[in-house]
């Protein structure tokens, strides 16, 4: 195990984070396999379990930075069109159209459709999370607002049979959100992939089998 001496001017918490990064097998694997972040393996593991990327031709990546999820899609479905959005800058990815803007902005949905080159997507994936303030209820509400916004967009662009994947916090999606998902999708499940750190509060909600805009 690699241990760091606490450097002058570096907080103990920062040293612990660096140690964890240096000893994390997913960080090492990501570096070796050319993925930009360990988060890539969360999508890989969820795809292995739920078949999310099978046959996808058009994918939207909400909260794309630093780009690990879109890299996974490119490798698993090389012909798929991918459009991503994030407030943070994201290094270019071959074959991916990236918008640096706020997904909650009024013109974001239209810009994403334009970037995708289609009004329909097979898969909308969201690794968005609100900046935490350290107050669990507030953090939960802010993240849920992003999940709900992602769902509204997914309902507009998904083709029948499509899927929506979103990051939620411990406890999963609220009952009202689960009910809304079940109205529009044939299958709604929660999962915590092995690549999610055990001490992390993140879970994912996986909604598959979109029923189409005219139903529900």
Binding-site sequence positions for S-adenosyl-L-methionine? 67, 69, 86, 102, 127
Are the CB atoms for 81 and 56 separated by under 8 Å?
A: no
Residues 164 and 37: their CA atoms lie apart, in Å, by 21
**167 among known catalytic residues:** yes
- Residue that the structure tokens 């899609």 belong to: 73
Query: Does 96 sit behind a cis peptide bond, omega within 30 degrees of 0 on the bond before it?
Result: no
Q: Which two tokens stand for residue 125?
A: 């994936």
Q: Which of 42, 155, 167, 192 is catalytic?
A: 167
Are the CB atoms for 21 and 4 separated by under 8 Å?
A: no
Are the CB atoms for 61 and 69 separated by under 8 Å?
A: yes
Residue 20: which H helix or E strand, with range? helix 12-23
Q: Residues at the annotated binding site?
A: 67, 69, 86, 102, 127
Residues 58 and 79: their CA atoms lie apart, in Å, by 9
Active site residues: 167
């Amino acid at each position: 195990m690699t241990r760091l001496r606490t450097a002058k001017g570096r907080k103990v918490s920062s040293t612990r984070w660096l140690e964890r990064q240096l000893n994390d097998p997913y960080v090492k694997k990501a570096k070796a396999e050319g993925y930009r972040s360990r988060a890539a393996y969360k999508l890989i593991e969820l795809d292995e379990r739920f078949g999310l990327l099978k046959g996808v031709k058009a994918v939207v990546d909400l909260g794309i930075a630093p780009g690990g999820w879109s890299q996974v899609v490119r490798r698993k479905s090389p012909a798929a069109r991918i459009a991503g959005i994030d407030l943070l800058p994201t290094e270019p990815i071959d074959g991916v159209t990236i918008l640096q803007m706020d997904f909650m902005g009024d013109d974001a949905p239209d810009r994403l459709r334009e970037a995708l080159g289609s009004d329909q997507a097979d898969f909308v994936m969201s690794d968005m999370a609100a900046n935490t303030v350290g107050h669990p209820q507030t953090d939960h509400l802010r993240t849920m607002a992003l999940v709900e916004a992602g769902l509204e967009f997914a309902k507009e662009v998904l083709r029948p049979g499509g899927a929506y994947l979103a990051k939620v916090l411990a406890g999963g999606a609220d009952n009202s959100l689960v009910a809304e998902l079940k109205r529009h999708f044939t299958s709604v499940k929660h999962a915590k992939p092995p690549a999610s750190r055990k001490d992390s509060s993140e879970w994912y909600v996986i909604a598959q089998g979109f029923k189409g805009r005219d139903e529900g």
